[in-house]
Amino acid sequence: MRKSYRVKTENDFQRVFKSGNSVANRAFVIYKIEKPENAHFRVGISVGKKVGHTAVVRNRLKRYIRAVLTENKARIEPQIDFLVIARPYVRDFSMTEIRKNLFHALILANVIEEIPDKVEED
């Protein structure tokens, strides 16, 4: 995922936190804010130390989340900024479990409309 698809600055993160709508499931919290001027969506990913005590675990989870979002770029609403925050429940999840839980949270937040066929088969 290119850097233009990421929420990078602290001010951007705080703007989405303070004025965005939040939705959660057991594994993820999604904060979303409408940005009509965006050409494409931007995403920020946060995996705290309570989720994974080592950087290796946190980076693996972020890599999995980015992979799921990259696979489904076309399904994601373009004029939004959103944050994906992992909860401790997700610590030992496999890629398949992360995909399933992340899609559930994204549907609840109205970031995507339907679950892709690949997830339903797993």
CB atoms within 10 A of CB 50: 10
| CATH code matching the domain that covers 3-121, chosen among 2.60.40.10, 3.40.50.970, 3.30.465.10, 3.30.230.10 | 3.30.230.10
Q: What is the mean pLDDT of residues 44-59?
A: 93
Q: What pLDDT shows up at residue 78?
A: 87
Q: For residue range 72-106, what is the model confidence (pLDDT) as tens digits?
A: 888 888 889 899 999 999 998 999 999 999 999 99
Q: What is the mean pLDDT of residues 56-69?
A: 93
Q: Where are the domains of the chain?
A: 3-121
Q: What is the pTM of this model?
A: 0.86
Q: Answer yes or no: is pLDDT of 50 > 90.
A: yes
Q: What pLDDT shows up at residue 122?
A: 47
Edge-to-edge order in the sheet of strand 21-24: 21-24, 28-34, 80-86, 42-46
Q: What is the mean pLDDT of residues 93-122?
A: 82
